Every structure is written in C-alpha cells, then in structure tokens.
Amino acid sequence: MLLEAIDHRSGQAYCYAYDERTVHIRLRTKKDDVDTVHALHGDKYDWERTALETRLYKTGSDQLFDYWQGELVPPHYRLRYAFKLTSGEEVVWLTEKGFGTEKSQDPLTFFDYPFLWPQEVLKPPAWVKEAVFYQIFPDRFANGDPANDPPGVRPWSDSDPGPYDFYGGDLQGVYDRIDYLTSLGVNAIYFTPLFEAATNHKYDTADYRKVDPAFGDTALLKKLVAAFHERGIRVILDAVFNHSGEGFAPFRDVREKGPESPYRDWFHIKEYPLRTEPRPSYHCFAFESHMPKLNTANPEVRNYLLDVAEYWVRECDIDGWRLDVANEVDHEFWREFRKKLKALKPDFYILGEIWHDAMPWLQGDQFDAVMNYPATDAILDYFAKGEIDARELGSRINRLLASYPQQVNEAAFNILGSHDTPRLLTRIPDEAKAKLAVLLQFTLPGTPCIYYGDEIGMQGGPDPDCRKPMQWDTARQNHGLLAFYRMLIELRRTRRALSEGTFRFVYAEKDQLIVLRKNAEEELYICVNNSNREASCHVFEPEPVSSAANGQSGPLPGRERGSRILPEAEVILGQGSFVRTENGLSAALPPFGWLVASVPLGRFDTGQGDML
C-alpha cells in the first residue's frame, strides 16, 4: 500500500454528523491500491463492551484516489475509532498517531469524535433535495404592468439587450405566468434581486426595504409568494449584503459629508474625498465604483442587514435567501445570520454564491448549500467543450462529492447556466448533446435549477446576451426541449431515488456513462451515449458485493453465486436496451442516446462496491 496517499482527518468532510444519531467517517487511499477498509470503533469510556468493526465502502474514485465511507451510530454519541486496511495479505492499521502493522491495544491512540451535538449538525431543509428550481431575472421574464415600466424600455421583441437596457418585466408578469410555471412542474423559484436599484439587474441596492417600483410593490410580492405557496412552490430571493449601490442613502451621506458622516464606518473608505478614478478610494465589489463594499464588522451595519433579512421573511413569508458574493462577507456575520433566520423559520434555505471550495461555510453554522459551479464546469467541459472524457468527468464529480458532507451534496444547487453565463444551447448547440447534459444535471445529488428560457431553447452568449426577454411566442419555442424538461421534472417527482438515493458511476469510459441512483425502493440506472455512433456498455461483477445500506456484509438475496434469480429491469424512459444478469449489466444505446432503467430493490443489489 502507498501510505503517502492515505488520508483521514477527524473533522470536516472526513468525520461528521450526518444527522442527530449518525456519524459518517471517510478515508482516502491510492486508487486500486486497497481491497477492504474497516473501522474499529467504540465508546472511549466503555471500550471493551462497545468495540465493533464496521466495513467502509468505496463511494467513488478519481484519477488518483479511492474514497471510502462508513456509517456509524454511536450509542452514547461519542466515538473513538481506527482504520484497518487490507491489500492482498498486507494489513495496515491507521490511528491518530500514524500507521502500524499491528492492532493498537491502546484506544487513546485512536481518532476521537468527542460528542454528537444535535444543534451542531448541518441540517439543510428537507424540501430542498426534492426541489426543482426555476431562476427568474425579473426585468426579462414577463411584463404584466406596462404602467410601471421605466423610461425608454425596449420592445419585448428586441433580442439584443445592452448592459443598461430595460424591458419592463415585473412581478405582475410573473403572477400572470404562474400557470406556465406550474405546468412546467417546478416547485421552487429563485428571483434575482427585487429591491430598488438603478440597474436592470438590481445588484446595486439603493433601498433594501423597498421592492423596485419597476417591479411592483411589497403588497404584490406578498400576493405573488402566497400564490406560489398555494401551488406548492417555494420562493427564495437574492440578498446583496457584500455591497450596496451608490444610491444607498448611507453611502450618499458619506459622499456628501465625507469623514463627518455618521455612516463613514458603514463602508471601507481608504481616503477622502471620495473618488472613482483611476480606481475608487473605497473598497467595492471588484472595482465597480457604483457598488461600495459594506462593513459588516460594524455592529450598526450588521444589525441593519440582519433586520432586512428577517423583515422579508416576516413580511412575505419567503423560503430562502441566495447570498450574493457570499465568500467576501465575514464568517461571523453569516453565523449570526443563520441563527436569526433559522429561529424565525427552521426550514429556511440559506444558499451561498461561492465558486470555489466552500467547506469553511458548510459546517453547520453558516450556509445550507452553495451554487455548484465545479459540477457545472465538469459537465460543460465534457458535453460542451469536449476537453475531458467520461472517465475524467466521473473523477471530477467523485472528487467533488468526497469534498463535502453527504447532506451538503444532497442540497447542492446544480445549474448549467445563469444570468452570469452563456446559455446552455449556446454552449452546446447540438440539442441532442444538450439534453444529455440536462439529464446528468437532473441525476446529480442536489437540486437542479433551470435558468428561465433554457427549457424552450433560448440562446445567448455572455452577459448581457444571456439576459434576453423570455420568448412567449409559442411558434418560436422549442417544444421538444420543453417536453424533455417536463419529463425529467416528472421523473424526479415520481422516482425518489433521484432526490434521496445514493449516487455512483458504475461505468465511465470515453463517451459513455452509467450512473446509479439507489434508495430503499429501487435502483435507477441512467445510461448516456455522448457519441454519434451506437454504443454498448458492459459492467462485469464476478463476485457478489455487499450492502452498504446498513453496514453489514454478505451477499444479498439473488446475488449468491450460481443463483438464477435475476432482476426485473425496466426501461422507463429513453431509447435502447438495458439488461441485468447475475454477473453484471449491459446497455445498448443509439447515437447521442440515453435511457433510464429501473430495477426493484431486493432482487439484485449492487451495494456501494467498486466504481470507475
């Protein structure tokens, strides 16, 4: 065994409370280097009577490493543990003191999980993993009230938006289209900012307690949220607490009065008088002078923003905040933010915009989830750019899943495009390939989000081209793509394995993928052929594998060698064939084809064995 590749730390994504009774432990090893991993664990104050050995299962692999996971239920909420690794005849033990070839007789040298505190468990709202979100950019979705249009709005039919253009979209327009959103099947809405601001995107807030008059007013927002709730649709809004707009009253006061302003410490002023050229004399978002950075270390600012966050929950009963530029705001602010919002509404969803490693924000004291840009990049690198093959795609997704606790992955916000990126069909002009990317998006752990118009085939390059007005002319909509989205949304609604089940790649080679989602009821196999030729995939499993659902070893019913009990595989969507045998599985797919096959659980179970 290559000991240098083995990694475990007692904390973060390697040892964490999954729920109020269960602890997950993980281990990393060199790829294909270790045959089995077991955890020796027990209560540190009652070791002799509580010591047990539990098998860990390989949950994924990347190009360099295998990732293993076990599920433990410590009877007294405390845990002390060590790892036993085998490779052929070689046995290695790993404790907190390092490696050894003999089992340590001193549990004091083992890893320690001191106590499982229920209040410290990261518990994203249960509804999130069952949600399908739809993102609305209000100025471009629908114009329901021309009377509130800003001056100089462009005709809705103009499809070449400039960065400073307005089209007149508003909340009344959204209200008028609730039937469309209901028929699509989505059950959660994400609005980009709604509050008064000078720009069309509203990320430069002027008044945090006022709906922008071009969108409507508080009464209309309240009416809209209530109407969505009647349809079983949740609503989250966009909070911009990293910075304000230059029209924000406290900033205008600082600009007018300089160091004499009582709001001078609300911002990060480097020198007076304020200037914007060649660069602002105050910290901003990026170097955008119209977006001055707020000083959330100032108790006055902190209390003001926290009051704003609570106000809209109380006033309109919203279900979550998406937090803009979340990683540039101090952690202490977000900790207080979480306490207040969760006290007000326990199933409130706190979603951070973070493009990189977000583990510091996902430890139970700040966010429930982040926008899953690393998964977006992996999917697009494969389907859009062709820069990686299926094996590398699987490696990147597996590495990402191993980087976060399982409940974080279950609440991840999975997107293929947004108001900040080119549209899906612009990145992947081949509709057949684009559908494969969407299928994988809906297959990943977490919640998928559709950017308005992607479901009808709208195209657009980088901002502002990706912000064209919604195409409501049905003659110009892609009805085949719309039907595809509706079908996948219905699939997630009716097949709970896609929202609550385990996830793994059972096949990933060149242009073909097979993903397994599994819960207590069934296995779902999602098979993808990302090539212009027919393809067959074969997965051979010469030995029965064990169930990881309950941590027990041994062959499952129907898996004993020589058994003739075979699974009842049914292709429920897509084209091609799928066959389960006692030694593995086979799938045959047409060019750029896909299928979803269902296997009832209990007839044939793959557990969580080797992957990739």
CATH number at residue 71: 2.60.40.10
Residues 401 and 485 in one domain: yes
What tokens does 578 get?
A: 């799928």
Range of the domain at 514: 498-600
Please state the domain count of the chain: 4
With respect to residue 101, please indicate whether it lies within any of the assigned structural domains. yes
C-alpha to C-alpha distance for 580 and 568, rounded to whole angstroms: 8
* 544 band by pLDDT with thresholds 50, 70 and 90: very low
What tens digit of pLDDT does each residue of 352-392 get? 999 999 999 999 999 999 999 999 999 999 999 999 999 99
C-alpha to C-alpha distance for 352 and 367, rounded to whole angstroms: 6
CATH number at residue 279: 3.90.400.10
From the number of C-beta atoms within 10 Å of its C-beta (0-12, 13-18, 19+), residue 553 rates as middle
Residues 137 and 196 in one domain: yes
Q: Which of 196, 152, 204, 145 is nearest to 170 (CA)?
A: 145
* 445 band by pLDDT with thresholds 50, 70 and 90: very high
**Chain center to CA of 565:** 38
What pLDDT does residue 552 have?
29
Give the ranges where 67-198 is alpha helix by DSSP (H).
138-141, 171-176, 178-184
Tell me what the mean pLDDT of segment 546-567 comes to: 36
What pLDDT does residue 156 have?
97
With respect to residue 609, please indicate whether it lies within any of the assigned structural domains. no
Asked whether residue 567 carries a pLDDT value surpassing 70, the answer given is no
Asked whether residue 611 carries a pLDDT value surpassing 50, the answer given is no
Residues 187 and 42 in one domain: no
The upper half-sphere exposure of residue 612, i.e. CA atoms within 13 Å in the direction of its Cβ, equals 27
C-alpha to C-alpha distance for 478 and 465, rounded to whole angstroms: 19
What pLDDT does residue 582 have?
73
Q: Kindly list the catalytic residues.
A: 324, 353
Tell me, yes or no, if the pTM score tops 0.75: yes
Lowest mean pLDDT among 104-113, 477-486, 549-558, 591-600: 549-558
Asked whether residue 197 carries a pLDDT value surpassing 90, the answer given is yes
Asked whether residue 80 carries a pLDDT value surpassing 90, the answer given is yes
Q: Which of 491, 485, 510 is nearest to 431 (CA)?
A: 485
Residues 206 and 231 in one domain: yes
C-alpha to C-alpha distance for 590 and 530, rounded to whole angstroms: 10
What pLDDT does residue 566 have?
53
With respect to residue 219, please indicate whether it lies within any of the assigned structural domains. yes
With respect to residue 606, please indicate whether it lies within any of the assigned structural domains. no
Q: What is the percent of the chain with per-residue pLDDT over 70, rounded to a whole number?
A: 94
What pLDDT does residue 469 have?
98
Residues 302 and 209 in one domain: yes
What Å distances lie between residue 368 and 16, 249, 327, 342, 551, CA to CA?
15, 32, 14, 11, 27
Kindly write down the DSSP assignment for every residue of 400-449, as one continuous string: HHHTS-HHHHHT-EEES--TTS--HHHH---HHHHHHHHHHHHHSSSEEE
C-alpha to C-alpha distance for 545 and 607, rounded to whole angstroms: 6
With respect to residue 611, please indicate whether it lies within any of the assigned structural domains. no
With respect to residue 17, please indicate whether it lies within any of the assigned structural domains. yes
CATH number at residue 504: 2.60.40.1180
Contacts of residue 431, defined as CB under 8 A and 6 or more positions apart, other chains included, come to 425, 457, 478, 480, 481
Asked whether residue 243 carries a pLDDT value surpassing 60, the answer given is yes
